[in-house]
Amino acid sequence: MSDSYTLTELAIETLKSVGKPLSSIEIWKEAEKLDLTRRTNSSGKTPWATIGARIYTDIKDNSDTPFVQVSKRPAKFFIKDQKINNRELIAEVDNDIHKEVLETEAISFYERDLHPLLAKFLYSNTHFACLSKTIYHESSRKSQKGYNKWLHPDMVGVYFPFNDYLKETQRLQESFKISSFKLFSFELKVKITFSNLREYYFQAVSNSSWANEGYLVALEIDSDPLLKDELRRLNNSFGIGVVILNPVEIEQSDIFLPAKAKEAIDWDTIDRLADENKDFKNFILDLTEDIQLGKVKSNYDKLLSDNELENYIKDKGIRNLAK
Radius of gyration of the chain (CA): 25
pLDDT band at 179 (very low <50, low <70, confident <90, very high): low
Outline where the chain has alpha helix (H). Answer: 7-18, 24-33, 47-61, 87-105, 115-124, 167-175, 197-207, 225-238, 267-276, 278-293, 306-316
pLDDT averaged over every residue in the chain? 82
**Separation CA 185–CA 179 (nearest Å):** 18
* Cross-strand partners of 242: 216, 257
Q: List, in order, residues 6 or more apart from 12 with CB less than 8 Å away.
A: 66, 67, 79
End-to-end alpha-carbon separation of the chain, Å?
42
pTM for the whole thing? Answer: 0.63
**Separation CA 316–CA 319 (nearest Å):** 9
* Domain spans of the chain, in order of start: 7-105, 111-316
**How many CB atoms lie under 10 A from the CB of residue 91?**
12
Amino acid at 64: D
Per-residue pLDDT at 148: 54
HSE-CB at 304 with a 13 A cutoff on CA atoms is 17
Helix (H, G, I), strand (E, B) or coil at 86: coil
Cβ–Cβ < 8 Å for 247, 318: yes
Is the pLDDT reported for residue 63 higher than 90? no
**Separation CA 51–CA 47 (nearest Å):** 6
Q: What is the pLDDT of residues 240-299, one digit of tens each?
A: 999 999 998 898 899 999 999 998 889 898 999 998 899 999 999 998 898 888 888 988
pLDDT band at 303 (very low <50, low <70, confident <90, very high): very high
Helix (H, G, I), strand (E, B) or coil at 223: coil
**Separation CA 80–CA 210 (nearest Å):** 47
Strand order in the sheet with 254-257: 131-134, 155-159, 182-192, 213-221, 241-244, 254-257
CA 161 to each of CA 44, 56, 75, 173, 241: distance values in angstroms, whole numbers, following the listed order:
48, 46, 46, 11, 22
Helix (H, G, I), strand (E, B) or coil at 72: strand
**Separation CA 251–CA 265 (nearest Å):** 29
Per-residue pLDDT at 199: 92
Average pLDDT over residues 143-155: 67
Question: What is the per-residue burial (b if ≥16 Cβ within 10 Å, else e) of 59-78?
Answer: eeeeeeebbbebbbeebbbb
pLDDT band at 84 (very low <50, low <70, confident <90, very high): low
Is the pLDDT reported for residue 133 higher than 70? yes
Average pLDDT over residues 1-6: 65
Average pLDDT over residues 5-10: 90
Computed from CA positions of residues 75, 65, 27, 37, in that sequence, does the dihedral angle turn out positive or negative?
A: negative
Closest listed residue to residue 133, CA positions, set 235, 285, 311:
285
pLDDT band at 164 (very low <50, low <70, confident <90, very high): low
Fold of 7-105: Arc Repressor Mutant, subunit A (1.10.10)
**How many CB atoms lie under 10 A from the CB of residue 260?**
15
Cβ–Cβ < 8 Å for 186, 280: no
